[in-house]
């Protein structure tokens, strides 16, 4: 069903998901996968044509995406896809590393065999999507997120979960870029296998060390990638 069809059904009073939510999801996906690139202006009239809908849902979507940190408004200029600098990546991933590590520490106090089986299922899915040809990066991200959500939920710390959720979409943009590199995708998968094994063994010290290390390794990778891209752009423009 197109978004235009959804809008027409809503006008007839039929029960469908919020049109603004559907638009938000569509635009978010285009941003995360790079179809809408960083720094690109998002124009209401072009999006109306793309989705065959009116302006109000687009404006509502912009509000949500801005709250998620995926777009930014420039006074008298419009709405643009957010650009992430090495400093942005460092800030986000440093916070995430602390959240994941603390959540793991709390979760291991209440870990059950059922919880471990659930996490094992997520790792199995990560393996499946990473080994596909080509790798299914969005489904890999979904399984990756579910793995960490299981741990965050077990931690029982509602405020940590809310903070992680606020950063989730920014992380998705950054990790999608890093997972496009086969070496980093394989590294990510191996880290999660090892984290799962450490949890199974009840080795808290090893679990916490691996949890922090895998996030900080992604941080280093992304900072290098962005810095290299910026250097290349500056060289071309000079």
pLDDT at 18: 83
pLDDT in tens, 111-167: 999 999 999 999 999 999 999 999 999 999 999 999 999 999 999 999 999 999 989
CATH superfamily of 86-232: GntR ligand-binding domain-like (1.20.120.530)
- CATH code of the domain made up of 3-81: 1.10.10.10
Every domain of the chain and the residues it spans? 3-81, 86-232
Backbone angles phi, psi at 72, to 5 degrees: -140, 145
Structure token digits, residue 33: 């996968």
pLDDT in tens, 183-217: 999 999 999 999 999 999 999 999 999 999 999 99
- One-letter-per-residue 3-state SS of 16-52: CCCHHHHHHHHHHHHHHCCCCCCCCEECHHHHHHHHC
Taking Cα atoms as reference points, which of 146, 137, 139 lies closest to residue 192? 146
User: 3-class SS at 100?
Assistant: helix
Residue in the block written with tokens 């962005």? 226
Confidence of residue 237 (pLDDT cuts 50, 70, 90): low
For residues 39 and 140, what is the distance between their CA atoms, to the nearest angstrom? 26
6, 16 contact by CB (below 8 A): yes
Calculate the alpha carbon distances from 235 to 40, 226, 227 in Å: 21, 14, 12
For residues 215 and 191, what is the distance between their CA atoms, to the nearest angstrom? 10
- pTM to 2 decimals? 0.84
């Amino acid at each position: 069903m197109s978004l235009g069809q959804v809008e027409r059904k809503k006008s007839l009073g039929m029960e469908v998901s919020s049109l603004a939510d559907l638009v938000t999801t569509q635009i978010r996906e285009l941003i995360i996968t790079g179809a809408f690139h960083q720094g690109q202006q998002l124009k209401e009239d072009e999006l109306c044509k793309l989705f065959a809908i009116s302006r109000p849902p687009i404006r509502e979507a912009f509000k949500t995406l801005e709250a998620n940190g995926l777009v930014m408004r420039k006074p008298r200029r419009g709405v643009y896809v957010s650009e992430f600098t090495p400093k942005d990546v460092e800030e986000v991933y440093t916070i995430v590393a602390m959240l994941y590590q603390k959540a793991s520490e709390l979760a291991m106090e209440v870990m059950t065999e059922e919880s471990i089986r659930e996490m094992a299922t997520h790792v199995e899915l990560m393996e499946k999507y990473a080994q596909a040809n080509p790798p299914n990066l969005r489904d890999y991200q979904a399984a990756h997120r579910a793995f960490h959500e299981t741990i965050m939920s077990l931690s029982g710390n509602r405020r940590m979960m809310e903070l992680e959720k606020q950063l989730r979409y920014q992380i998705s943009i950054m990790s999608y870029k890093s997972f496009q590199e086969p070496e980093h995708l394989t590294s990510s998968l191996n880290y999660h296998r090892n984290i799962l094994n450490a949890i199974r063994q009840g080795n808290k010290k090893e679990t916490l060390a691996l949890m922090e290390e895998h996030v900080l390794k992604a941080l280093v990778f992304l900072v290098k990638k962005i810095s290299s891209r910026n250097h290349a752009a500056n060289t071309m423009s000079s």
